[in-house]
């Protein structure tokens, strides 16, 4: 049988076409490989390349807000330290509502959420949580004045219970509803924890639910509020990451970071800084103040007089401020880092040239000079005593927050030059519907109101004591205050 052999004649054109097709296929393969590699490129590498860590959080005392020395809050401090740990910058995205955070994360708008989120079963289906950094419980809060303390769920059925919408509190109440079908509650998108606490005090609602860490910070400003009972078992707070990440590198670095700061004590120090002072807070009664005025004030009285004369203040006002700050203790140190009898921040000490914040004379002099500086920043058309009360508010909450409150006061028809009007609107700085419209954002607006009120009371008592002493004709001279030992802890 004849064998037929097919022969293909080669030509320069055919060879060129095959070479072109080969390079085309190789190029397409390379592009596909690059796409795959880019898709699988670790999330940490992307962050290192752009030099920025993007984090979602919320305004609030336990998370992120603007303090006297700038941005602060436990979540902010943790995120800032993690950014430093990675060697990148930190960019914060503030979300006003809890319900928006997870969609924002899954929409690739940020790298993770650091907003004090409780680890719940419902949330675990949507995000991946890091190891916990704090444990809390959900607590039922009520106003104890004239009311019997509820001790179980059945005791609050029929009462007005309201919680923050899309919160772990709402989730917990849904679980409890299975066992207590008559239990009812209301959720509010426009309210936060602090607003609900205010509504309890005003009698608009009977109960709310708050995480134990948040109530530790708030209860100082609402002495009539109390914990009825824990409404949940202990829960963990953690950062939330996307569940569909192509790798674990960023998540693993976050887990390593928490393991490291837990082991070296940094986490404990941060928790103490943000919560320790609140745990130790006890309202000061007039009888205790009178006792301290007799026992602790004399060694420092001449220092207050000297600083007041140099800066144009009444020494009794400086003494009242000092008592509000430190109870006249020279070596007082708060967990937030302020020190001394006038509780001067490190930043302010540097600006004023203070070498030792624990030296009573230096601290009192610095406090007086700082008050004078703030007093000079208050608009000239604000008359006394409103000018002084606003100075004290700025000393406590910051000049920027005071200006925000004055603008809100004016927008609501109040007089921004009158303290009695401004103090009504300062608390709005803690409400997100208001603070999100301001330049300086969230602030514990109730705190400067209480702060100024206390100082005015202490000042009135000191004036009364001083005038009474001047009217007395004692046979024995008063001891030289310079010979009395200062009070320390």
Q: How many CB atoms lie within 10 A of CB 122?
A: 11
- Under 8 Å between Cβ of 231 and 138: yes
The total number of residues written for the chain in this structure = 489
Distance CA 330, CA 334 (A): 12
Q: Which residues pair with 240 in a beta bridge?
A: 113, 129
- The region, left, alpha or beta by phi > 0 then psi within -120 to 50, assigned to residue 138 is beta
Q: Which residues pair with 53 in a beta bridge?
A: 90
- Under 8 Å between Cβ of 53 and 47: yes
119 Cβ contact list (under 8 Å, min separation 6)? 129, 132, 235, 236, 237, 238
Burial grade of 311 (CB within 10 A; 0-12, 13-18, 19 or more): middle
Report whether the peptide linkage leading into residue 385 is cis, meaning its omega lies within 30 degrees of zero: yes
Catalogue the E-assigned strands of 307-416.
Answer: none
367 token code pair: 């406090």
- Dihedral sign, CA of 105, 111, 115, 120? positive
Closest Cα to residue 57, out of 83, 102, 106, 95? 95
Query: What positions carry a catalytic annotation?
Result: 325
- The region, left, alpha or beta by phi > 0 then psi within -120 to 50, assigned to residue 105 is alpha
Q: Which residues pair with 226 in a beta bridge?
A: 142
Find the helix or strand (DSSP H, E) in which 363 lies: helix 360-377
- Under 8 Å between Cβ of 253 and 141: no
- Under 8 Å between Cβ of 330 and 341: yes
Find the helix or strand (DSSP H, E) in which 43 lies: helix 43-50
330 token code pair: 């020279």
Tally of helices (H runs) and strands (E runs) in the chain: 21, 13
Q: How many CB atoms lie within 10 A of CB 387?
A: 16
Burial grade of 476 (CB within 10 A; 0-12, 13-18, 19 or more): exposed
Place of tokens 């104890």: 144
Q: Which residues pair with 143 in a beta bridge?
A: 225
Burial grade of 184 (CB within 10 A; 0-12, 13-18, 19 or more): middle
């Amino acid at each position: 049988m004849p064998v037929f052999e097919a022969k293909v004649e080669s030509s320069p054109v055919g060879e060129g076409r095959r070479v072109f097709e080969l390079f085309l296929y190789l190029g397409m393969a390379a592009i596909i490989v690059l796409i795959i590699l880019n898709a699988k490129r670790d999330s940490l590498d992307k962050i290192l390349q752009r030099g920025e860590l993007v984090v979602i959080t919320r305004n609030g005392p336990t998370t992120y807000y603007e303090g006297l020395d700038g941005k602060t809050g436990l979540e902010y401090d943790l995120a800032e330290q993690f950014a430093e740990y990675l060697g990148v910058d930190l960019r914060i995205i503030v979300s006003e509502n809890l319900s928006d955070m997870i969609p924002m994360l899954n929409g690739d708008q940020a790298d993770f959420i650091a907003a004090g989120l409780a680890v719940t079963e419902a949330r675990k289906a949507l995000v991946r949580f890091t190891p916990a950094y704090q444990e809390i419980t959900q607590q039922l809060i009520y106003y104890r004045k004239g009311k019997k303390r509820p001790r179980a769920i059945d005791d609050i059925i029929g009462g007005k219970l309201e919680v923050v919408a899309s919160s772990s509190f709402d989730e917990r109440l849904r679980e409890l509803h299975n066992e207590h079908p008559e239990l009812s509650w209301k959720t509010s998108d426009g309210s936060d924890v602090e607003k609900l606490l205010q509504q309890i005090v005003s009698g608009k609602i009977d109960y709310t639910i708050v995480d134990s860490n948040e109530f530790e910070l708030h209860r100082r400003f609402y002495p009539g509020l109390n914990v009825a009972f824990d409404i949940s078992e202990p829960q963990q707070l953690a950062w939330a990451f996307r569940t569909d990440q192509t790798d674990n590198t960023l998540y693993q670095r976050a887990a390593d970071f928490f393991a490291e700061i837990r082991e070296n004590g940094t986490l404990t120090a941060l928790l103490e800084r943000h919560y320790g002072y609140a745990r130790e807070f006890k309202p000061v009664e007039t009888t205790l103040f009178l006792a301290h005025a007799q026992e602790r004030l004399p060694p420092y009285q001449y220092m207050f007089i000297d600083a007041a004369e140099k800066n144009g203040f009444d020494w009794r006002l400086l003494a009242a401020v000092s008592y509000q700050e430190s109870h006249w203790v020279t070596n007082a140190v708060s967990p937030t880092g302020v020190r001394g009898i006038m509780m001067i921040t490190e930043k302010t000490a540097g600006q004023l040239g203070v070498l030792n914040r624990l030296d009573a004379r230096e601290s009192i002099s610095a406090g007086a000079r700082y008050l004078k500086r703030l007093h000079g920043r208050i608009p000239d058309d604000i008359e006394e005593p409103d000018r002084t009360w606003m100075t004290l508010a700025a000393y406590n909450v910051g000049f920027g927050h005071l200006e925000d409150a004055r603008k809100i006061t004016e927008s609501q028809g109040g007089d921004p030059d009158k303290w009695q009007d401004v103090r009504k609107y300062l608390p709005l700085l803690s409400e997100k519907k208001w603070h999100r419209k301001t330049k300086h954002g969230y602030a514990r607006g109730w705190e400067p109101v209480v702060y100024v009120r206390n100082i005015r009371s202490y000042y009135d008592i000191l004036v009364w004591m001083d005038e009474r002493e001047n009217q007395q004709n004692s046979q024995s001279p008063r001891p030289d205050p310079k010979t009395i030992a200062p009070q320390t802890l």
